[in-house]
């Protein structure tokens, strides 16, 4: 099968300036997603979609193809589905092939491994599955431990708990942004990314850090240095270069 990995990385980031190339465990954040994709022999092509020249340069340095995204597709309001469909169409035009499956690998989820991607793709060998989303089991964030407000009164978010111990709560999963796998033909026909039935690809919470705020960046730096036995401190002290 022809498989395209799309890594979306726009330049604008209000929470963390240039988040997608911020250093994590000694490498630019986006490099971890590029390395994971390039380590998977199943992937035919890997492409970074960006509106930013600096991000494009970093992606090229790490061996990934770069697609310049129109600025109108790089705003806070730009739907990811439109961004991905643009990348898919351009990749097919440039490479002269049709893709069977495309992967959306968000650079803000750097802890996915090549094995995760390979195992997720093996799930897509089931022809009855049209889409796959990576998720992790929630723990202390379980809906049955949450409340909502009615006026100024707390009300259980999910109604009366079905159990008293957290271990006995029904399993609930949260998407971690690491892997989305979709059948390209369906996406092109309907103009959307996900199609039922959607299969979960369950990852451990320890590899499901999704970087949105500074503390996420620090946590990823600490965990990845331990995972890959990389010396150095947390807090973005690593180099942006190989």
Average pLDDT for the chain: 92
Is residue 97 a part of any domain in this protein?
yes
Output the pTM of the full model: 0.90
| Chain mean position to CA 134 | 8
Q: Is the pLDDT of residue 13 over 90?
A: no
The single-letter DSSP state of residue 25 is: T
Assign 233 a pLDDT band (cuts: 50, 70, 90): low
pLDDT score, position 159: 78
Range of the domain at 199: 3-137+172-227
Assign 242 a pLDDT band (cuts: 50, 70, 90): very low
Q: Note the pLDDT tens digit of each residue in 112-150.
A: 999 999 999 999 999 899 999 999 999 888 888 899 999
Q: Please give the residue that has the higher pLDDT: either 13 or 229.
A: 229
Residue 31: C-alpha distances to residues 50, 119, 184, 196, 241 (Å): 14, 21, 25, 31, 10
Is residue 7 a part of any domain in this protein?
yes
Is residue 131 a part of any domain in this protein?
yes
- The number of folded domains in the chain is 1
Per-residue pLDDT, averaged over 100-109, amounts to 98
Q: Using an 8 Å Cβ cutoff, are 175 and 104 in contact?
A: no
Residues 6+ apart with CB under 8 A from 184: 4, 88, 98, 99, 100, 101, 102
pLDDT score, position 236: 41
Per-residue pLDDT, averaged over 208-236, amounts to 88
Nearest to 218 by CA among 206, 236, 238: 236
Greatest mean pLDDT among 77-81, 181-185, 193-197: 181-185
Q: Using an 8 Å Cβ cutoff, are 209 and 109 in contact?
A: yes
Is residue 203 a part of any domain in this protein?
yes
Q: Please give the residue that has the higher pLDDT: either 188 or 234.
A: 188
- Sheet with 45-50, edge to edge strand ranges: 65-68, 45-50, 3-8, 101-104, 173-183, 131-137, 198-202
CATH number at 109 reads: 3.90.550.10
């Amino acid at each position: 099968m022809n498989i395209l990995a799309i890594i979306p990385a726009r330049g604008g980031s209000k929470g963390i300036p240039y988040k997608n190339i911020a250093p994590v465990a000694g490498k630019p954040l986006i490099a971890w997603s590029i390395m994971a994709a390039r380590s998977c022999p199943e992937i035919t092509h890997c492409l970074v979609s960006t509106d930013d020249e600096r991000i494009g340069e970093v992606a090229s340095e790490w061996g990934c193809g770069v697609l310049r995204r129109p600025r109108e597709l790089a705003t806070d309001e730009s739907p990811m589905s439109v961004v991905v469909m643009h990348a898919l169409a351009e990749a097919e035009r440039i490479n002269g092939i049709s893709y069977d499956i495309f992967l959306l690998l968000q650079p803000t989820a750097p802890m996915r491994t090549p094995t995760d991607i390979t195992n997720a793709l093996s799930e897509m060998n089931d022809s009855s599955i049209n889409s796959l989303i990576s998720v992790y089991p929630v723990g202390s964030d379980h809906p049955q431990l949450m409340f909502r407000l009615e006026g100024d009164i707390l009300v259980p978010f999910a109604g009366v708990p079905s159990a008293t111990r957290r271990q006995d709560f029904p399993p609930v999963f949260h998407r971690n942004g690491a892997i989305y796998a979709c059948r390209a033909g369906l996406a092109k026909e309907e103009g959307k990314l996900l199609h039922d039935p959607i299969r979960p690809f369950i990852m451990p919470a320890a590899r499901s850090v999704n970087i949105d705020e500074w503390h996420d960046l620090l946590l990823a730096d600490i965990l990845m240095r331990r995972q890959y036995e990389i010396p150095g401190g947390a807090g973005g002290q690593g180099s942006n270069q190989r």
